[in-house]
Amino acid sequence: MQTENELLTLCSAAEAADFGALRVEPEGLPPLAVFFDDGEYFVTDDTCSHGEASLSEGMVEGGKVECPWHSGKFCLRTGAAESFPAETPVRVYPAILRDGHVCIRRPE
């Protein structure tokens, strides 16, 4: 993972597309999840806001990820909690494609 022009490279776009969801651990940030769904890339915090489950291990479909522990769902685009028991949103980071990689702007 590297910073180039304020961008933080998380993974290759092909790798994210192949797996559908990946957990990445960039230095200085919490673990993040990179998702590929319906031709789009999304990046969120990886840890479910309801429990300590890894969202990258959840089911991804229709722009949502379902927590693997308690089935709460989150919108990949906004991070909004969309089904009980999840009530608190997860943070999202706009995904930027650069030179075949999924990147984000390093949060301040």
Residue 3 has pLDDT above 80, yes or no: no
Q: State residue 8's pLDDT score.
A: 95
Task: Map tokens 């230095």 to a residue.
Answer: 27
CA–CA distance from 42 to each of 1, 3, 13, 85 (Å)? 17, 19, 11, 22
CA separation for the pair 19, 50 (Å, rounded): 24
**Domain span holding position 95:** 3-105
* 108 pLDDT tier (thresholds 50, 70, 90): confident
Q: State residue 45's pLDDT score.
A: 97
CA–CA distance from 60 to each of 56, 83, 99 (Å)? 9, 14, 25
Q: State residue 105's pLDDT score.
A: 95
Residue 34 has pLDDT above 90, yes or no: yes
Number of compact structural domains in the chain: 1
Q: State residue 5's pLDDT score.
A: 58
| End-to-end CA, the chain | 17
Q: State residue 77's pLDDT score.
A: 97
The enclosing domain of 75 has a CATH number of 2.102.10.10
Q: State residue 52's pLDDT score.
A: 85
Residue 84 has pLDDT above 60, yes or no: yes
pLDDT in tens, 17-31: 999 999 999 998 999
Q: State residue 6's pLDDT score.
A: 87
Name the 3-class secondary structure at 77.
Answer: coil
